[in-house]
Structure 1
Amino acid sequence: MKWRLLRLNRFIWAFGLILTSLVVGVGTYRFMEGYTLAEAFYMTVITISTTGFQEVHPLSSKGRIFTSFYLLINLGIIAYTVSVLTTYLFEGELRAIWQNYMNEREIKRFSGHVIVCGYGRNGARATNDLLASGERIVVIERNPEVTLHKRHHDEKLNLLTGNATEDEMLEKAGVRQAKALISTLPTDADNVFVALTARGFNPDLQIIARASEKTTEQKLLRAGANYVVMPDEIGGSHMASLITQPEVIHFLELLNGTGPNKMHLEEVHLNELREDLRGLSIRELDVRNRSGATLIGLNRNGSEFLVSPDADTCLQAGDVLILLGSPSQIQTFSQLFYLKR
């Protein structure tokens, strides 16, 4: 419940100030002026609210001085309380709290989804690409302003506000039922901690973690990460390749580009194909002539990877096909080869 306490902190603080002011006012009027409890409470309320009703009994000199300062202090308290209420009612914080609660309820029913820890540059890019691929995503972001802003633009995105290094937040994100987790937190130490914690919750979880330092890579792998990505290193290699192999880079950019020339890589598991196709050879599948897509690789049951496999290679249980083609070619392949659901 920590995220709710953090989001409600200002509201609780304002309520606490008003309650404290009431107690101080009632106690002071009762013992300084000799008022009964009911009279002291009445005097406190009309002073705080500045309604200006008549005093219960004439105040002493000390009572007038106390009332003057008490009134000035409460003007500040009331102004602060009104600002907090305005923020919750008109700037969407109350709505955000409610939406976070509803997200938690919905996420409890998720299975086979992807968790993204951190919604910075890398996390946002990963989330957008995964959503474009039709994956169900749960994002954990520590900064409430970021999640509030994102919800205004995409209310369908499942966002949780909190610290991804906490066990409670990972459980709320459904880490036990998730199929993968991407950790893109700013510090390597946090990413190591998330990988270690997530692996403890789910031994079968696929974990991809970001690292800034080369020395962190082995720590992340020991903590349970399946893959470690170093954005700075990749960026430097990419810039060097633009000089040494520019056309190769231009081709690779087609895979992530937009427009009619965009290419797409598709991963096809053998059990997704029609049953009558699963024992055929690559020649008999005739993927190129039937769909226009090109079979560029074959993962043989996780044991070896065949690049441009021989046409006489027969498909076996556990194989994964890697196809290259335009969106329309991939769609044609899906219509002709995929198992009907």
Structure 2
Amino acid sequence: MLFLIILIGTIGFVFIADYGWINALYMTVITISTVGFKEVQPLDSDAKIFTILLIITSITIFGYIISVITDYIANNKFIEELKFKQVQKKIQSLQKHTIVCGFGRNGKQAMARLKSYKKGCVIVENDPELIEEIEADGTMLYIKGDATSDEALLAAGIERATSLITTLPSDADNLYVVLSARQLNSECTIVSRASIDTSYKKLKIAGADNVIMPDKLGGAHMASLVTTPDIMEFIDRLSIEGESSSNIEELIIEDLPEEYTNKSIFDLDLRKRTGCTVIGFKTPDKEYIINPDASTKLVPKSKLIVIGRPAEIRKLNKLF
């Protein structure tokens, strides 16, 4: 509107008052800004009427602009917009991060574990109360939107993410999220929550790598505490809470020095060098070998699972 009134004023002074283009622009600016300098050249009746209309119109526009800016600041829209742009900039800079859809009970637990591993995360949530809780924390990145929509997932950087966790209350919504995420990123690891048994197969077909049923896991765990209490208590004491307190760690073979590729677990000699013990091996075909033989070859696209005290795990991470 401001640009338009300057354009109209300049053209008007050129054709009505017979000003040159520079003088017409100068006259328009000093008129609408109410500076009050003397006219460049005397104005006739038509030019004076045009100037009166220009002054009235410009004052109205300026009043409107000031009211919009005042309302924008008074309602904290400016600060909210600034915060939103800062969050968006941080999200756009993320690479190989995890997207958590839903910040309910399961979503909060997932975020706590991911934060303990210092993993880059983005939450997708549309519940105003939960968003207030996220904002109150001040350390979590989030997208306000419906996780079942492609727009929300794209805003969260699904194309650059390595994993996605969907913990929405509805199995149908989780199914939509899995379908959308798999379509947008075929390489992404997807973990979904499910409430009923019939949803398990559907979510797997839709593209979920893992489907977790919290209620079923809880019941099985409680039964195990009755049948094998000592074993379960020992397992519960194995901490995988974060980088500084883990008892279990996984080693990706590609992350090891090249000299160990295609060598054996025996050649790695983890027990002597770090105190850690190899308890599992994941083959390139995603098969797990419990307590692998020392002659097992460290082939690419495989992983080692090791156990040790927190200090030994830290030594392991420092060496490798």
TM-aligned CA distance change 1:114 to 1:267, over 3 Å:
same
Contact 2:240 2:248 in 1 (8 A): no
Contact 1:96 1:148 in 2 (8 A): no
* Helix, strand or coil at the partner of 2:317: helix
Specify which of 128, 149, 154 is matched with residue 144 of structure 1.
128
TM-score, normalised on structure 2? 0.72
Distance 2:133 2:82 in 1: 15
1:271 is matched by which residue type in structure 2?
Answer: E
Contact 2:240 2:247 in 1 (8 A): no
Q: Does 1:228 align with 2:211?
A: yes
1:118 is matched by which residue type in structure 2?
Answer: G
Q: How far does residue 291 in structure 1 lie from its aligned partner after superposition?
A: 0.7
The CA deviation string for residues 82-133 of structure 1, in whole angstroms up to 9 with x for no partner, is: xx987x44xxx76445323321232122221100000011001101101111
1:297 — aligned with what? 280
2:217 is matched by which residue type in structure 1?
Answer: I
Q: Does 1:201 align with 2:156?
A: no
Contact 1:100 1:159 in 2 (8 A): no
Distance 2:248 2:129 in 1: 36
Please show how residues 95-134 of structure 1 align to structure 2 within 5 Å.
95-134=79-118
Which runs of 5 or more structure 2 residues have no equivalent in the other structure? 1-71
Distance 1:174 1:262 in 2: 30
TM-score, normalised on structure 1? 0.68
1:56 — aligned with what? none
Percent same amino acid at aligned positions?
Answer: 37
Distance 1:157 1:125 in 2: 14
Which runs of 5 or more structure 1 residues have no equivalent in the other structure? 1-83
1:321 is matched by which residue type in structure 2?
Answer: L
Please show how residues 27-106 of structure 1 align to structure 2 within 5 Å.
88-89=75-76, 95-106=79-90
The CA deviation string for residues 11-65 of structure 1, in whole angstroms up to 9 with x for no partner, is: xxxxxxxxxxxxxxxxxxxxxxxxxxxxxxxxxxxxxxxxxxxxxxxxxxxxxxx
Contact 1:184 1:191 in 2 (8 A): yes
Specify which of 291, 296, 301 is matched with residue 313 of structure 1.
296
Q: Does 1:162 align with 2:162?
A: no
* Helix, strand or coil at the partner of 2:142: strand
TM-aligned CA distance change 1:304 to 1:145, over 3 Å:
closer
Q: What RMSD over aligned residues (CA atoms) do the two structures have, in Å?
A: 2.7
Q: How far does residue 264 in structure 1 lie from its aligned partner after superposition?
A: 2.3
Contact 2:239 2:248 in 1 (8 A): no
1:178 — aligned with what? 161
Aligned length in residues: 253
Distance 2:249 2:100 in 1: 22
1:235 is matched by which residue type in structure 2?
Answer: G
2:227 is matched by which residue type in structure 1?
Answer: T
Distance 2:238 2:115 in 1: 16
1:136 is matched by which residue type in structure 2?
Answer: G
1:288 — aligned with what? 271
Q: How far does residue 308 in structure 1 lie from its aligned partner after superposition?
A: 0.8
